[in-house]
Copies of this chain bind each other. A is one copy, B any other.
Amino acid sequence: MERGGSGYWSVFVPGAGAGSRYRFSLDGRERADPASHFQPLGVDGPSEVVDHASFHWDEGGWKGLRQTEMVVYEVHAGTFTPSGDLASVISRLAPLRDLGVNSLELMPIAQFPGERNWGYDGVFPFAVQNTYGGPLALKMLVNECHRHGMGVVLDVVYNHFGPEGNYIGEFGPYFTDRYRTPWGDAVNFDGRGSDHVREFFIANALHWFERYRIDALRLDAVHAVIDMSANPFLRALSDRVAEYSSQKGRLFGLIAESDLNDTRAVSKGEHGWGLDAVWSDDFHHSVHALITGERGGYYADFGEVRHLAKAVNEGFTYTGQYSSYRGRSFGSPSARVPKDRFVVSVQNHDQVGNRMLGERLSRLASFEGLKLAAGLLLLSPFVPLIFMGEEYGEDAPFLYFIDHRGDELVRAVRNGRKKEFEAFEWETEPPDPASPGTFLASRVDWEKRGSGRHKTLLGLYGTLIRLRRELPSLAIGTGRVEATALDEEKVMLLSREAGGDAAFAIFNFSRGEARIMGRLPEGKWARAIDSSGKEWDGPGSLLPASVEANDQAFDMALPPLSFALYTKEGH
C-alpha cells in the first residue's frame, strides 16, 4: 500500500470488485477493514467489497420523514421474528403500518461479534451484520419500509467500540485516555488526529443515508461522546447532515439518546449541537414509577404525579433540580424546546432489557396499567416510541445477551451484569447473557396479537394513534399543552388545544377509585376513550359519555389505573 496524505494508505487492486474479500496487513498483523461494508464471516473474517450501485430502489414515492408525525416502532432484528434477520421484518410492515406506525427504528445492525447481541458491541460501524443478512437485506428492508410509507431510523454507536474484534485503535488515534467512559477509553473526538476520527463517523452517518437511504440515525449515548472542543463533534455531524438533507431535498435526521437532560443537544443556536430530537428518559421513568410503584435505582427520583406532569409539559422532569439518584443537580430548562424534539416511550430496549430479568411492563403492571401507559405515551405531545411487542402486551422478557468468544470476556460481561444490578435489590442471579436460551427467551411471539387482551391492547394502541393523527389538538405542534398534577388524588389532567380543536384527558394512577372535582373548559365534551370501558376489557366506565362546561362543576369518579379522553364536540 502507499502512504498518502494525513497517514491514509491506499492501493489499487486490479480485478477487485463486488464480492472480493480482503484484509489489511498491519505490521504483519492481518486485520479486516475498520470501514468494511460487509464481514461475511463475522468480525474475525475478511472484509468484502460491496456493490452499492446495482440495487434497484423503488421507494413508492417516499418523500422522507415528517418529524411532527412520527410514530416510532423499535425493533431488535434478532428477536423480532423467528428467523431473526432483516428480511423477515418485511412481512410485518403491513400490520405495523395498519397500526399507524410510520417509523421503524432498528437497534444497531453494525457488525458485532457472534450471532446474538443487542448491537452495542459492534466493531465494524459500516458493515451490516452478517447473521442479519448483510447489506442487501438492509436495503431490501429500507426499500419496503419506504414503499409502506414508513421511514427507517437506525441506531448507531459512535461513543465506543465493542470489546471483541476491536482493532481500530491500531489504525489511528481513535481513542483517548484523557476521558473515561463506562466502556473504557473514550473515542478521540477532540485530541490530535481527531479531524479524521470525526470524519470516520460523519462518513458513517452519510453512508447509511446515501447507500441505504436510512432516514434518521439514533445516536447511542451521546453523554459518552466527550468532546471539549470549540466545534463539538455532534455539531459538526449535524451541520454535515443538514447540508446533506438540503442537497437531497429530504429530511435526514439525528436523534440522540442522552443521559444529560441538556437542551443543548437539540438547540439549533450557535452553541447547540443541532440534533433533531433527544430521548426523554424522564418521561419513561415518571410513567414507570407511577404505574409499577417501583422506587429502586433511578426510579428513586420519580413516583409523584408532578414528576410526570413536568415531563409532559416540558419534556424533562429534571431541568436543574437536585436528583437524589445522581447526587447532584441535573438538567437544563426545557420548557421552550419544541415538543417534536423529544422522543418518549413507556418501554424501550434499555428500560426493559437493563432490568436483571428483562421484564416488560406487561410483567410488572396489570392490564389496566398497560392501557394507562398506552394513553400516556400516545396522548403525550412528543414523538412516541413503541418497543416491539409493547402494542399487544408481549410478555416475553427482553434479556441481555451476547455471543462473545473467549471465556475471560464472557466472564467479564457476566460480572459486569451482576454489578449493574447492585443498585436494585434482587434475590436471584441474572440470566446468563452468553446462553442461547437467554436470547431465545427474548423473542417476541407475534401470534399473540391476534387474540384476547393482547388484541384488545393492540386495538387501543391503534385507536390512540388514529386519534393522534386525526385530531389537531393531539398532534405534535405548537398548540397548548397543559398537564396538571393532582398528587393527592394521584391524578393527572392533560389539556390540549390546537387549531380550534381541543381535548382533555384524565389519568388516574391510584390503585383505587379517585374522585376529582373541578371546572371544565368551555364547550361540550364527548368521551372518546375510556380505558376502563368494557370495550377495552375494563371493569366498566364510571364517566359520563358527554359533559358540558355550563354544567355545574364536575365531580367525577375514576376507576383505578385508568385514563379517559374527552374531545370537543361539533369540531
* A residues lining the B interface (CB < 8 Å): 177-180, 190-195, 223, 226, 228-231, 260-264, 267, 269-272, 320, 322, 326-332
Contacts and interface: CB of A to CB of B under 8 A. Distances in A.
B267 A328 contact: no
B179 A230 contact: no
30 contacts: A178-B180, A179-B179, A179-B226, A190-B328, A191-B328, A192-B326, A192-B328, A193-B327, A193-B328, A195-B322, A195-B329, A226-B228, A229-B262, A229-B330, A230-B260, A230-B261, A230-B263, A230-B320, A230-B330, A230-B331, A230-B332, A231-B320, A231-B332, A263-B270, A263-B271, A264-B271, A269-B269, A269-B271, A270-B271, A271-B272
Nearest to A188: B328
Contacts of A327: 191-193
The A interface, classified by DSSP as helix, strand, loop or mixed, is: loop
Contacts of A270: 263, 267, 269, 271-272
A179 to B, nearest CB: 6
Nearest to A222: B228
A179 B230 CA distance: 18
Contacts of A330: 229-230
A496 B190 CA distance: 36
Nearest to A225: B228
A39 to B, nearest CB: 30
Given A270-B267, A271-B267, A322-B195, A262 B328 contact: no
Nearest to A329: B195
A117 to B, nearest CB: 26
Contacts of A178: 179-180
Contacts of A272: 270-271
A107 B260 CA distance: 35
Contacts of A322: 195
A528 B564 CA distance: 81
A554 B195 CA distance: 45
Nearest to A227: B228
A270 B191 CA distance: 26
A194 B322 CA distance: 11
Contact of A271 (B193, B229, B271): B271
B229 A260 contact: yes
Given A192-B326, A230-B262, 12 more contacts: A178-B179, A192-B327, A193-B328, A195-B322, A230-B264, A230-B330, A231-B320, A264-B271, A269-B269, A269-B270, A270-B271, A270-B272
Contacts of A180: 177-179
Contacts of A193: 327-328
Contacts of A190: 328
A274 B177 CA distance: 29
A231 B195 CA distance: 27
Nearest to A180: B178
Nearest to A179: B179
A558 B280 CA distance: 64
A75 to B, nearest CB: 30
A260 B271 CA distance: 14
A190 B262 CA distance: 13
A114 B267 CA distance: 48
Nearest to A197: B328
A228 to B, nearest CB: 6
A329 B229 CA distance: 9
Nearest to A320: B231
Pairs of residues from A and B, 8 with the lowest C-beta to C-beta distance, nearest first:
A230-B262, A192-B327, A230-B332, A271-B271, A264-B271, A194-B328, A178-B180, A230-B331
Contacts of A223: 228
Contacts of A262: 229-230
Contacts of A332: 230-231
